[in-house]
Amino acid sequence: MTTTHDDNATTWRDLADDLTPSQRDSMEFVEREFAARPTARNATADLLDLARGHIEQNLVDIALAGVPLHPGTYTLWTLPTRGGVSLIISGQYGQWGTEYNQAQDLGRVKMKMGKPPAPIETYQMTLASEGGAKATLKLAWENTIATVPITVK
């Protein structure tokens, strides 16, 4: 099985953070059932496979500010200018923060700009559900709020 999560997990609980709350509840139920009805099967391996299957179902394509992205790892860069802030979505990852390679850009988009009601001391990056298959990525610092929409495909 090809996975994008921790292949070194030894129990399903090692992957619990990648499961939805209802999937965790389901896993706990199945775990209790296995404990109540011991069989010759390897319950630990079966539960781990079940958790990995749930996680695979959770991986979805998205559009980040209109830029289509498949499940994977990306780097987000910001480019402040006098006209606002651009979000750069890069296919390169794992590099040191100053090693920018424009050839790896998947897209550049202008962020919607706003001001917070009070200055923000600590940089914030948050995801907020907008209901349905929509969310907003919000970057906030000092006197600046910059946002882009996310749509689940």
pLDDT at residue 19, as a whole number:
87
Q: Is residue 5 part of a domain?
A: no
Q: Is residue 4 part of a domain?
A: no
Q: Are residues 146 and 84 in the same domain?
A: yes
Q: Is residue 38 part of a domain?
A: yes
Averaged in consecutive runs of 10 residues, what is the pLDDT profile of the chain (153 residues)?
60 88 90 77 84 86 94 90 93 84 95 96 94 94 96 92
pLDDT at residue 77, as a whole number:
93
Q: What is the DSSP string of 19-56?
A: S-HHHHHHHHHHHHHHHHS--SS-HHHHHHHHHHHHHH
Q: Which residue has the tokens 């179902």?
A: 57
Q: Are residues 32 and 83 in the same domain?
A: no
Specify whether the CB–CB gap between 85 and 49 falls below 8 A. Answer: no
Residue in 139, 114, 145, 116 with CA at minimum distance from that of residue 126: 139
Range of the domain at 39: 12-58
Kind plus residue range of the DSSP H or E element containing 57: helix 43-58
Q: Are residues 116 and 70 in the same domain?
A: yes
Q: Are residues 91 and 147 in the same domain?
A: yes
pLDDT at residue 42, as a whole number:
76
pLDDT at residue 40, as a whole number:
52
Q: Is residue 3 part of a domain?
A: no
pTM over 0.85: no
Q: Are residues 98 and 54 in the same domain?
A: no
d(CA 76, CA 93): 9
Q: Is residue 105 part of a domain?
A: yes
R_g (Cα) of the chain, nearest Å: 20
Query: Helix, strand, coil % (nearest 5) of the chain?
Result: 25, 40, 35
Q: Are residues 112 and 130 in the same domain?
A: yes
Domain count of the chain? 2
pLDDT at residue 5, as a whole number:
52
d(CA 13, CA 83): 47
Q: Are residues 52 and 99 in the same domain?
A: no
Q: Are residues 50 and 120 in the same domain?
A: no
